[in-house]
Copies of this chain bind each other. A is one copy, B any other.
């Protein structure tokens, strides 16, 4: 059809902005409540002027010890991180911090649904990689394996998501697959 040639993903938006917009849709439609966590900030100095709002005068960005997004869908706890890469051929695992992987492992172990949302920005390709598969590749590098996940590995072992009109990134369809796969073990 004519519509299928529209590339909804090619708007110069960051993956984060695209996901926030998608989450707003899911929220408005009562499908899921998923929010991006605020960036943690270390506050050093605050001014409290009379009759007006407190002003933070000195503060620093901190590294998040968890992932960017969490929430609830189908009663389940959802937890994921969003990562962009400019590579054409593979996703470098250096995009993840060790503590993010550890956080996702714990959430998975406790019954949560975890995944990585990976975007190849040059081709506008999106993949949802379930936590257990991500952990497999993460551990492989520590056992002398490659330090990235090739795109063909993602094509085989992740869910590719196509941009659409609403929500822009319909990633909950991949989450449905992850939930169903887990229930069928």
Contacts and interface: CB of A to CB of B under 8 A. Distances in A.
Interface residues of A, number: 38
Interface stretch (A27-35, A83-91, A139-147, A149-157): A27-35
Given A40-B38, A71-B77, A110 B56 contact: no
A181 to B, nearest CB: 15
A41 B37 CA distance: 11
16 contacts: A30-B106, A30-B109, A33-B112, A37-B37, A37-B38, A41-B41, A56-B58, A56-B59, A56-B60, A72-B110, A72-B112, A75-B76, A75-B77, A75-B110, A76-B76, A77-B78
A61 interface: yes
A57 B27 CA distance: 34
Nearest to A75: B111
A13 interface: no
B110 A73 contact: yes
Interface of A: 27, 30-33, 35, 37-41, 53-61, 66, 70-79, 103, 106-107, 109-112
Contacts of A37: 37-38
When all copies of this chain in the complex are counted, the total is 2
Nearest to A70: B70
A31 B107 CA distance: 10
A2 to B, nearest CB: 36
